[in-house]
Structure 1
């Protein structure tokens, strides 16, 4: 087509850009990232833009820590001490700065490898499927979930790891109660769907 239209200008559109952190495996001379395929970005329209334009439905964001708070704060304390700004600051000053941080700000001090560990994956899936939490989030009625959920990951490899960990955790028919004996649901409520959770993995 390019030969037929030699003076044409080409634009690429993608809703799932591929960056260096999740680039495709090398296959000859084929492009491995969106930039390799199309060149530099001309314009971006993010989910934030779509929400502001009311083009998509809003959603609730909940921040869940998977690292024990004191350990995380101490880690940030050590990181701040290594910076010129806080190297000579008082301990009270440094801790005050940490106390003013929200969850997202604190995450910036955590190495990406921490989010890719088996321990982190286990904490995430156990939070999602803990009976007292799952009953409400999946809106169980008459023992059956009425809502679905999407779990996004940083890479295809991470998606596969989450999928395998969930399948491993739920392989026993009584997994829900065996895995979470200390998190019962309230009396009068039931979770009786033998196929919960129905899980599928998709990726590009």
Structure 2
């Protein structure tokens, strides 16, 4: 509305207010704030909003907002209409396949005990569960320990050095992605990597 007013020398854009519009927002987790969206909605109260994002904001990494404004992507745009994740893309052949190396927070022999402690169930009952289900029951704090992060970093630097081509030198290695559960954990990994590489703590 401000741009319209400037372009047409202060002309009142009220004649646009009743329009039924479809608002399509790409990268909606960051391209429009809840405050900006609220402002636009007051002028186009009949508009439908559709947001597209590959990295939605959830409760665990919600934004800092003013007052009662929505602080997650779903609160801002409404319930999810459709999802298309990396598994879908791999199945459809839309992206190249890749190898996944997953580091468990425990050796298998300790996993049942940890899940039993977290859930209050018996280890006998848990033994029949799928490993993925077991780890879903673990509190995220298990993945935040320095011991687990060091195990992951050690695996990358020492056990994957040949696989990733570290011996070829800077700019000649293979690409890899380290995924973490949230932004704060990713930052913690970054800082720990720098500390370890600077002090040569792992060999």
How far, CA to CA, are the matches of 1:25 and 1:117 in structure 2? 26
Structure 2 match to 1:18: 57
Which of the pair has more CA radius of gyration? 2
Structure 2 match to 1:139: 165
Cα deviation, 1:57-103, whole Å, max 9, x if unaligned, reads 112223332313322223345667x45xx7xxxx8xx27x61x5453
In the alignment, is residue 159 of structure 1 matched against residue 186 of structure 2? Answer: yes
1:35 is aligned, of 53, 74, 86, to: 74
TM-score relative to the length of structure 2: 0.67
TM-score relative to the length of structure 1: 0.67
How is 1:25-174 mapped onto 2 (pairs within 5 angstroms)?
25-28=64-67, 30-77=69-116, 82-83=120-121, 94=124, 98=127, 101-130=129-158, 132-136=159-163, 138-140=164-166, 142-143=168-169, 145-172=172-199
Considering fraction of residues, name the structure with more helix: 2
Alpha-carbon distance change, 27 to 164 in structure 1, aligned in 2, over 3 angstroms? farther
CA contact (8 A) 1:22 1:155 kept: yes
Structure 2 match to 1:201: none
Number of matched residues? 163
Point out where structure 1 has 5 or more consecutive residues left out of the alignment: 181-204
Cα deviation, 1:10-46, whole Å, max 9, x if unaligned, reads 2111111111112123445553210122111111111
CA contact (8 A) 2:118 2:138 kept: no
How far, CA to CA, are the matches of 2:114 and 2:197 in structure 1? 34
How far, CA to CA, are the matches of 1:79 and 1:15 in structure 2? 31
How far, CA to CA, are the matches of 1:16 and 1:162 in structure 2? 19
Q: Residue 52 of structure 2: SS of its match in structure 1?
A: coil
Alpha-carbon distance change, 103 to 41 in structure 1, aligned in 2, over 3 angstroms? same
CA contact (8 A) 1:24 1:33 kept: yes
